[in-house]
Structure 1
Amino acid sequence: MSRIRAAFHDPDGTRYGIPTFWWKGAPAGYAARRQLRVAGLRPGGQPVAAQILWRGVGGNRVAYLYRVELALPKRTATPAQMRAITAALTARRTCRVCGVVRPYCIPRSLGECVDCAYPMEEAA
């Protein structure tokens, strides 16, 4: 075991307070938030079970791990929530001036679609 790995190897949590492993050194059964998300799971309110420490730019970096068997399935949006999201995204693409639904989100800095904001450039 290299010195860097040995510095971050604390499986019983005596040095860092919780079980600590080196980069790519965590045993099976632990996963980070992104890994849980890919698997269709979420932490579900469980506390951090372990951590991974590694040396990165600017100092030591940390990634918190959760127990996979305690993770819950991801929540899905209800049909009403999906309708609300669709309506909000459509509102972001609708020009206030001409009322046309554009294929892009209207820039907040302009407050209107590009065609309404720069009408002379379209004629050229």
Structure 2
Amino acid sequence: MGRIRAAYWDPEGTRYGIPTFWWQGASPGYATRRQLRARGLRPGGQPIAGQILWRGIGGTRAAYLYRLDLARPKRTATPAQLRAVRAALTARRTCPTCRQVRPYYIPRSRGECLTCLPL
């Protein structure tokens, strides 16, 4: 075990307060948010159960770990929520001057589509 890895090895949490592992050295019962999402899960309000520390650009980097047995299934959007998002995205593409729905988002700095802009 190298010095760098040994500095980040604290599975009991005595040095850092929570169980700490080196890069790719976490126990099987833990997962990061991205790993949970890939499995169709979410943390579900549980506290951070551990961390991974490694040396990166700008100093020591950290990735927080959550327990797999306490994770909950991801929530799905209701049909009403999906309709609301679709309407909001359509409103961002609708020009207030000519009322045309464009295939791009209307620039907020300009306030109208590129066709209506004075040159």
TM-score scaled to structure 2, two decimals? Answer: 0.96
Match of 1:79 in 2: 79
Q: Unpaired segments of 5 or more residues in structure 1?
A: none
Match of 1:7 in 2: 7
Q: Write the deviation string for residues 19-66 of structure 1: whole angstroms up to 9, x where unpaired.
A: 000011111121111111121111000010100011111211111000
Match of 1:41 in 2: 41
Q: How many residues align?
A: 119
Higher helix share: 1
Q: Unpaired segments of 5 or more residues in structure 2?
A: none
Aligned equivalents of 2:69, 2:106: Cα separation in 1: 44
Does 1:91 find its partner at 2:56?
Answer: no
Match of 2:112 in 1: 112
Match of 1:103 in 2: 103
Secondary structure of 1:115 counterpart: coil
TM-score scaled to structure 1, two decimals? Answer: 0.92
Match of 2:65 in 1: 65
Aligned equivalents of 2:40, 2:114: Cα separation in 1: 39
Secondary structure of 1:116 counterpart: coil
Runs of 4+ in 1 over 4 A off after TM superposition: none
RMSD: 0.9
Aligned equivalents of 1:109, 1:38: Cα separation in 2: 37
Secondary structure of 2:116 counterpart: helix
